[in-house]
Structure 1
Amino acid sequence: MSQPRRALYIALAIALLTLVIVSAIPIAPLYAKEIRGPPTKLVLYDVVTKVEDGIYSVIRGEADIFFWPISRSQLEQLGIKPEELRNVYLIPQASALYALIFNPYSDDKPWGACGIGTSIKDNKTHFNPFALREFRFAMNWLINRKYIVDEIMLGGANPQYTVIGPSHPAYPQIESVIKELGLTPEGDFEKAKKMIEDAFAKARECMR
């Protein structure tokens, strides 16, 4: 093999290795703080069957990186103390989306517009507030996303208003609507209450 071609192959191999390492780092949730040294010539992979084993292997310096999504609440549940993570860097990443799903069922009859639906269990009609569009819309202000992030997710999440998040190319268009509606992480209980009362008043008129 000629020297120029061999040099080209070596350069390509190094470029591919660099691509793999650089592309992998952003999705890794946990890795040890950087210690500068000579270029990496060998990458060793190992497998663990418990999340805590992977975390502690990084804490103890036995591994440089642990490829697995970990939330702050999980770290707390595992009993891992903040001081143990002093030399470890957690990489922020979106690994899950939690959403509240409502049942909007109503009968496909004129009274269905009033929020009335027939149960398949007892064959009786019932009022389903979530069948009212205005009631469902009020949930956007009733739910305190900040409380969920701070108290339930222990700060390991970000509030989101749609399934299209900040990393999506279409988010700028969605964000303008969010701002126009005045949605905030804390919500607005009084506004939601007024919207719900108006929705119920409209439903009562509909049932007459």
Structure 2
Amino acid sequence: MTESGFLKLKENIIQRLTAGLDKQLTYHNLAHTLDVLEQAERIAHEENLTDPRSLLLIRIAALYHDTGFLDTYRGHEARSCEIMLEDLEKHSFSAADLDAIQGMIMATRIPQSPANLMEEVICDADLDYLGRDDFPPISNNLMREFLVYGIIKKETEWDPLQVGFFEKHQYFTKSSRTLRQPRKLEYLNLLRDKVIEMNSSITPGRK
């Protein structure tokens, strides 16, 4: 696939996500997909992934990784793979290429399970925001989405859920551990403090 071919593919995905995603997806939306694409390109560069074919596959995986939300919430990764295969069957991709893209998409499923550097790049790009300055508003968007879709029932469940998620999450690439991990740990400490304060207010006088 040429660069112009990729750009056409990107424009098609943008149009489909814009038209087809539920507007109540305040986190898993077009902005998130474009951010993951941008971060995947950056992380790949920082990890010295320079092979043009590998870079193309990473960019395609980033574009498609959340397209499954067009049809389903739970299990969206598998649906994303199906959509990708439907779209790319008419292009000149080998079975190995398609398997690599599927591997990257499925590796983003929580808990993340990357098996190689390309999958690590996508996983770190997908959760890059955990260690960025714009974490608070993005986190709030995810909370709103979780409330709508019944993942949580009330806002007070959110910060404890985030603490548990942060404690289990890890960045895989050296560049993300260097660039994002320190800020992520700062947020984790702030979240822990908020949970402690919340628990104290619920049970006054508790030591």
Q: Taking structure 1 as the reference length, what is the TM-score of the superposition?
A: 0.22
User: Higher relative CO (CA 8 A, sep ≥ 6), structure 1 or 2?
Assistant: 2
Max Rg structure: 1
TM-score by length of 2: 0.22
Pick the structure with more strand per residue.
1
Give 1 or 2: higher helix fraction: 2
